Structure 1
Amino acid sequence: GSGSAGTRSASGPPDDAPSPPAAEPAVRVRVRWPASSDAELKAFELELGGGAPTVACLKGAIERRTNVPAGKQKLLNLKSGRGKGLAADDEPLSGLSSLRKPGFAVSLMGTPDAALAAELAIAAAAPPVVDDLDDEFGGTILALPPAELAENVERVMRRVEKVKVAVLQPPRPGKKLLCLDIDYTLIDHRSTVERPWEMARPHLLDFLEQAYAHYDIAIWSATSMKWVELKMREMGVLSHPGFKVSFMLDARAMITCHTARYGAKECKPLAFIWRNDVFGGAYHERNTIMFDDLRRNFVMNPQQGLKVRPFRNCHRNRATDDELLKLGAYLRAIAELDSLEDLDHAKWERYMRQLRKRQREP
């Protein structure tokens, strides 16, 4: 009858109908992207609504704002709410404690589609790989070392012509050149940390400051220059008062080299530096040493390369890793030699043991 429970008025729902759920508040996320060339994108804020947004929703919003594809984004300090590691795409933002910290901003690494396309175009312009080589690793001795093969020399010179180097500090008279890889050599780039600089290998800045007394410092990474600059800036390498980086190189300066051991792989030919007029002949085979965690990266220059132990799982190994302390001592020990060409850097630890033994002898 009239006025009984559950009746519907002419203008609304039944009197005892449940109230509609309250709308969930939007999630606000601050994002830092220091590598952006657009000042407005170096730091910005996103608002995500629509129920319970996930990390995938956040990446989608970042992609729409920055043109960095969601699949190529690295959100450095966004920890998982389920345990160790970075947050998975399906995790709701409401479950991530980092986002609730006052002043917290997600640190974005990534390259916009347009920039990535430009880099790929440069790589595509490289001469095709000629699969007609063997080397000593495969049991067949090369008629010529990879650095002397005509096709590799040509590839290097093409890079010298096409890739411009920004010289941050001119060569200093009498200084040798120390060329350093980044990932797993200087930093653990896959670690999950609250602050990006925590990825740095122990003693990094002290190592660079001490090396700077005898060596010009170059950084050469197999990633894009935006990532190189971002990583070095976040680590404090580009702003340290005790040393200066002379120049930085990225994947564009690398060439494809074929060997029986590694197949067709990108490598870092030091001839790109030695034959580059921008350095005026200051660097050459006798005064250059390269540190990398991958031996194949210096397959063109095996005598100048030193394979370092990779720095991984920094949260476990930070307290015990002393590789840079030992390598720094080696650099100081060989700094006064007229030439580094007679050294076998693969035996650098033996060299140091023998040196200490000689120093103890009366």
Structure 2
Amino acid sequence: MAAATTLGTEEELTLTVKWSGKEYTVRVCGEDTVGELKRRICEVTDVLPKRQKLLYPKIASKLSDDSVLLCQLPLKSSIKMTMIGTVEDDIIVDQVDSPEIIDDFELGQDETVDIKDKEVNKQKLRRRIDLCNIDLRNPCRQGKKLLVLDIDYTLFDHRSTAENPLELMRPYLHEFLSAAYAEYDIMIWSATRMKWVELKMGELGVLNNPNYEITALLDHLAMTTLQSDSHGVFDCKPLGLIWAKFPEFYNAKNTIMFDDLRRNFVMNPQNGLTIKPFKKAHASRDSDQELVKLTQYLLAIAELDDLSNLDHNKWESYIADSSKRRRNT
């Protein structure tokens, strides 16, 4: 392996991963990180990235750092590396044990534009579009706008404990989804794995509610890893993936996304609304009115032709102004 050369930044290569007596093939490129490689491995093995240990001569220590770019490693196509890891079936324990993301950040406008427009990030998005499939739970509806929702701290307090998951559900969730469904198709996109998404949404009664339908579920495998000058490597949720999969239904003009992490909007900042996190459910559920107010906002803007012209940071002011306009007519 001493003859291996460093991978070019845009060069693609195919790696073979040996695990549990079988070999799996994954495709990556030089601008991908070790964390992105682990995500690709998770796609074919179902071993969570945090449970993977990658073994390869002389660079095993670097493969433990998810932020390292593959172009910085002596890799070449057709190499074989070994992965040690265990598939976890206890998805409740997995979720509780997962590290909490507390270092949210807001990138400056210039850096956001740079990240969004950088060709390498556009290339990553194109590759994600090619590799990722979105399974529809219900048909897309012509003429409807699109609402994309996060789960943790947006719809559900995933850190508190309770005998019944319904105690951790954000107040007015079903009323909110029922009202939004009149004007919007609804997709749920979580940074966790699909089994957990299905379980939690099923327990909350979201997947079989008679008053609305969920169009699709997306998980961490649909996310893209980016790198910023100020905050290093992080994951985001590029709405361009959905727009490319369903171009006849959704686009930047008719899509809005709710998430408690601003970083997830970096590839589509004009479409993101940062929702107030729902935490400490037992103490806050009697006073949390966020979904009630956001219902008003969604219905107020549903009549607009282009949602991307709005400053969603000022959504509460928009509701107040909308109420004044109605009173004056």
> Where on the TM-score scale, by shorter chain, does this alignment land: which range?
0.5 to 0.7
1:346 to 313, 323, 329: 313
CA positional deviation for 1:148: 2.4
Instruction: State the percentage of identical aligned residues.
Output: 49
- Paired with 1:292 and 1:207, the residues of 2 have a C-alpha distance of 15
**C-alpha distance 346-204 of structure 1, shift in aligned 2 (>3 A):** same
Name the residue aligned to 1:91.
none
2:278 to 303, 306, 311: 311
- Where 1:245 maps in the other structure, the secondary structure is coil
2:215 to 235, 246, 253: 246
CA positional deviation for 1:162: 1.4
CA positional deviation for 1:208: 0.3
Once the two structures are superposed, residues 129-166 of structure 1 have per-residue CA deviations (whole angstroms, 9 ceiling, x without a partner) of: 899xxxx9468x35954232211111112111212211
1:206 to 157, 169, 175: 175
- Paired with 2:162 and 2:119, the residues of 1 have a C-alpha distance of 45
Describe how 1:62-77 pairs up with structure 2 within 5 A: none
**C-alpha distance 360-179 of structure 1, shift in aligned 2 (>3 A):** same
Once the two structures are superposed, residues 301-332 of structure 1 have per-residue CA deviations (whole angstroms, 9 ceiling, x without a partner) of: 11100000000000001111010000011000
- Where 2:307 maps in the other structure, the secondary structure is coil
**C-alpha distance 214-126 of structure 1, shift in aligned 2 (>3 A):** farther
- Paired with 2:67 and 2:258, the residues of 1 have a C-alpha distance of 25
1:272 to 219, 227, 241: 241
Once the two structures are superposed, residues 158-183 of structure 1 have per-residue CA deviations (whole angstroms, 9 ceiling, x without a partner) of: 11121221111121010000000000
**CA-based RMSD:** 2.7
- Paired with 2:69 and 2:249, the residues of 1 have a C-alpha distance of 31
Q: Does 1:300 align with 2:299?
A: no
- Paired with 1:130 and 1:150, the residues of 2 have a C-alpha distance of 16
Letter in 1 for 2:47: L
Q: Does 1:116 align with 2:76?
A: no
- Paired with 1:179 and 1:127, the residues of 2 have a C-alpha distance of 30
CA contact (8 A) 2:129 2:244 kept: yes
**C-alpha distance 201-161 of structure 1, shift in aligned 2 (>3 A):** same
| Structure with larger RCO (C-alpha < 8 A, sep 6+) | 2
Question: Of the two, which has the highest radius of gyration?
Answer: 1
Name the residue aligned to 2:132.
163
CA contact (8 A) 1:129 1:258 kept: no
CA contact (8 A) 1:156 1:272 kept: yes
| Residue-pair matches, total | 241
CA positional deviation for 1:299: 1.1
Letter in 1 for 2:299: R
- Where 1:222 maps in the other structure, the secondary structure is coil
**C-alpha distance 196-344 of structure 1, shift in aligned 2 (>3 A):** same
CA contact (8 A) 2:243 2:250 kept: yes
Once the two structures are superposed, residues 16-72 of structure 1 have per-residue CA deviations (whole angstroms, 9 ceiling, x without a partner) of: xxxxxxxxxxxxxxxxxxxxxxxxxxxxxxxxxxxxxxxxxxxxxxxxxxxxxxxxx
CA contact (8 A) 1:288 1:340 kept: yes
2:121 to 143, 147, 152: 152
Describe how 1:1-362 pairs up with structure 2 within 5 A: 115-117=46-48, 128=69, 137=107, 141-142=110-111, 145-276=114-245, 279-361=246-328
- Paired with 1:336 and 1:143, the residues of 2 have a C-alpha distance of 28
- Where 2:47 maps in the other structure, the secondary structure is helix
CA positional deviation for 1:118: 8.0
Name the residue aligned to 2:6.
none
- Where 1:275 maps in the other structure, the secondary structure is helix
CA contact (8 A) 1:221 1:250 kept: yes
- Paired with 1:253 and 1:127, the residues of 2 have a C-alpha distance of 20
- Where 2:233 maps in the other structure, the secondary structure is strand
- Paired with 1:128 and 1:238, the residues of 2 have a C-alpha distance of 38
TM-score by length of 2: 0.68
Q: Which sits farther off after the overlay, 346-355 or 156-165?
A: 156-165
CA contact (8 A) 1:129 1:256 kept: no
